[in-house]
Amino acid sequence: MVEVVGILEMQGRGGQVMPEGKSQVGLVAIAPEDLKGAPFGMKVVVEILTPPDAPNARGKVVEVLGDPMRPDVAMEGIIRMHGLSQSFPAEVLAEAEAAPTELSSEMIAEELATGRQDLRTLKTMTIDGLDARDLDDAISIESLPEGGWRLWVHIADVSYYVREGSALDTEAQLRGNSVYLADRVLPMLPPALSNGICSLNPDADRLAMTVVIDFDRQGSLVDGDIFESVIRSDLRANYEDVKLCLEQDAPQPGYENFMTELRLMSELAHIFSDKADIRGALEFNFPETKVVLDSEGAVTNIYPYPVSFANELIEQFMIAANRFVGQKFRELSLPFLYRVHDNPDSEKLERFRQLLRMQGKKIKLSDSPSPHELASVLKDIAEMPGSEALQSLLLRSLAKAIYSADPIGHFGLALKDYSHFTSPIRRYPDLFIHRVIRGFLRGEMRLEAWKALAPQIAEQCSKTERTAIMAERDSVDQKVAEYYAERIGEVYEGQITGFVGGGMFVQLPSSAEGMIPFRSMDDYYSYDEVNMTVRGRSKQRLFRIGDRFEVQIASVDVVRRRVDLSMVDEKKSGRIDLSVRSKSRGKSAKTESGRGRKSESSAPVKPTTKKKGKRK
């Protein structure tokens, strides 16, 4: 069954709906008997009655979401548009509620008898954002007597509670991942599990899957192992507190007994970061847009989410664990899922080179660059004006990371082996490989079944991940529109991040984007898609990606999630294309000097203008 979301409009005796978002279905006609009493002007869910590729789509209203101007209706529309769900089937909830809320001593004793290791006396902490509820990773660390470090990465043992083939498992695989919208989370697992018994909450015994790795003084792997464990987190740390502890080399309240561990973590993470630079791992610095809501759900602030070394510290440790697990199970040749990232697209890379040349950037980039070569380019453009926009263009030339049953490597991380092991509460591929790991550890392998499942799960979860990204982006765009709708006329500095045939995208200091429509400007502007520039026909004013100037919030359409901007002073923005003017002056001079002079009866010489760039 195909469903679309849109605003119901009157059409004759019936109605019509133009689907929102990317849909293979065009305008949908609704017969009078299929309106089901829905009022016109409301946002509705429509079931498509004709084949999706039919030229004249017909449908029937199955649900009225409400007034499209209401924020709650807008968010519900985004959820339904992307085929997501806020609720779980009854049988799934029943299985989740049947799970224990805490581990009993009897359960722990039974698990320890099977060989699970007891690590509850090992000093352990989680480090997450302040608002995180699904804590699926924890860290322990010690220095080794001979120098170096022993790092434990403990991951919630979700596979213990979500058994293969159960209703919980079927629903988790269908969802593929949790979705983090601007105002809510759509979890992969019911909250009784994701925020409860699976979450590595402080001062609570929890089942885990632990990777322990010894590293020498240079941060190279010496030895490692993976096993089932019981842990007890001693501290629910957050990024901001850890940042302050490390910067001030002094504990924040509650961290007094953890400074030794935090210093060891910082030492090892810095070495990992240096090694990543050496091997050529790509590091893009794109700010995430943080949306702050009040108790009523209204947007009170939008700003770039601050990221510090505390975030990188955890990221480096997760990469180390994912790398270890990926390599170990590739060598075992067991059915598995890998996180893979293919080589860059050569045509898109050529466009990136063209843009650099147009902007006078002298950077060498081979036809088939290595990760190390691209990492060097990233460092070079980081110092240039418009660096974020240039990084974004380079990112678009890269393949998208996906899941695969084949270990082809990860170009962006410059790693031969990589998996997703560290987030089984919110990613199904992690849960799947935990199941394989458990089978390996306990000698309960289902090789043929897992071998058949792995490619299917890889394809499904790559798809659900893309859906989640689009839904999350739409939800942020919705809140951005709501925020700036209250700020019409306000002025900000903006930076051009891209072009389309109808206008230019401009990023605001909040990291949100708006558009300056060409129709609102004082010249006829055309987009040169090859050189990625915009030029005015009459005044030859030129705009490039990375240009900065003041913009004003001109208008906002909260229904279409669109923020339109205008230039505060167009004459002082961009630059005059002197090359075109000099050509025109040269032709005039030649005519006046008698070279190629036409007779006085001939038509006057018109300055040559560039052909209009192709519009998208």
Residue 285 has what pLDDT?
Answer: 76
Indicate the pLDDT class of residue 587, thresholds 50, 70 and 90.
very low
Q: Please count the other Cβ atoms lying within 10 Å of the Cβ belonging to residue 541.
A: 20
Mean pLDDT of 511-534: 90
Q: Which residues contact 611 (CB under 8 A, 6 or more apart)?
A: none
Mean pLDDT of 125-137: 94
Mean pLDDT of 162-169: 97
Domains (ranges, CATH) in the chain?
3-68 (2.40.50.700), 90-342+399-479 (no CATH), 352-398 (no CATH), 485-616 (2.40.50.140)
Q: What is the pTM assigned to this prediction? A: 0.88
pLDDT digits 0-9 by tens, 132-165: 999 999 999 999 999 999 999 999 999 999 999 9
Task: Give CA–CA dist 535/517, Å, rounded.
Answer: 14
pLDDT digits 0-9 by tens, 294-331: 988 899 999 998 889 999 999 999 999 999 999 999 99
Residue 383 has pLDDT above 80, yes or no: no
Indicate the pLDDT class of residue 596, thresholds 50, 70 and 90.
very low
| Torsion of the alpha carbons at 311, 314, 317 and 321, rounded to the nearest 10 | -120
Task: Give CA–CA dist 437/458, Å, rounded.
Answer: 17
CB 40 within 8 A of CB 10: yes
Task: Give CA–CA dist 46/29, Å, rounded.
Answer: 10
pLDDT digits 0-9 by tens, 267-292: 999 999 999 999 999 988 778 899 99
pLDDT digits 0-9 by tens, 218-240: 999 999 999 999 999 999 999 99
Give the tokens for residue 514: 């708006």
pLDDT digits 0-9 by tens, 445-455: 999 999 999 99
Residue 599 has pLDDT above 80, yes or no: no
Indicate the pLDDT class of residue 65, thresholds 50, 70 and 90.
very high
Residue 608 has what pLDDT?
Answer: 34
Mean pLDDT (the chain, rounded): 90
Which helix (H) or strand (E) is 555 found in, with range?
Answer: strand 548-557
Quote the DSSP letter at residue 24: S
Angle at 417 between CA 416 and CA 422, to 5 degrees: 145
Residue 24 has what pLDDT?
Answer: 82
Cross-sheet strand order for the sheet of 125-128: 117-118, 221-232, 205-215, 149-156, 137-143, 125-128, 235-238
Q: Which amino acid is at 508?
A: L
